[in-house]
Chains A and B, each alone.
Chain A
């Protein structure tokens, strides 16, 4: 069983489109995250949710909107996609909202390419 899963794995789309990436964890964790990894492989946190509540919201354009329907799911919706949004997006989860005091489990990543 996959602990943290993301769909789709690859996403190619045109500028201006709206797209969503889904994430699900079956670990029973309380906290979930979205990270962005740029072309230089640098990881940066975007959002964190604990029990469906937003606890970290980094400076990302408001075209990015996370949605957590329940604590096992954290989806990322992106409006009006731009070329600079091309990156690999990783979902992760951890046991507690002091998330970094616990191991984080990462999904396989979604490679988004905006043309």
Chain B
């Protein structure tokens, strides 16, 4: 079992819908990253957070350290949001290496 689990694996929604992608992890962490991988393959860092909530445009990321859970929300979704979203956790022990979730493939239909 992966230390970082994401759900759903695949998500298809209509343009304009509110999107939620979930990430759960089984170890204590010091930071959690959300990444976006475009259909062309490039990876972009969206957020890095260790507590609370961050917002950037239509994207919101939240984390609950006690529950070992993070969510990525997209408001007013658009076809250009179609991508794979990956969460990655940094355990708070051992060396500084990210453990990645398996990704959520999001498709927004016009």
Stretch of B15-23, B40-48, B57-65, B66-74 at the chain-chain interface: B40-48
Max chain A C-beta neighbours (<10 A), residue from B37, B42, B97 = B97
**Chain B residues proximal to chain A, CB less than 8 Å:** 30-31, 33, 35, 37, 41-45, 48, 50, 84, 86, 88, 90, 95-98, 100, 102-103
**Number of interface residues, chain A, beta carbon within 8 A:** 26
User: A53: CB under 8 A from chain B?
Assistant: no
Shortest Cβ distance from A59 into chain B, in angstroms?
Answer: 12
Q: Is B86 within 8 A of A108, CB to CB?
A: no
Residues of B within 8 A of A58 (CB): 97
* Cβ contact within 8 Å between B100 and A101: no
Assuming the contacts A100-B33, A101-B48, A102-B48, asked whether A109 and B41 have C-beta atoms less than 8 A apart, the reply is: yes
Q: List 17 A-B contacts (CB under 8 A).
A: A41-B84, A43-B88, A43-B100, A44-B100, A48-B96, A55-B96, A56-B97, A58-B97, A97-B96, A100-B88, A100-B90, A100-B96, A103-B33, A103-B45, A104-B45, A106-B44, A109-B43
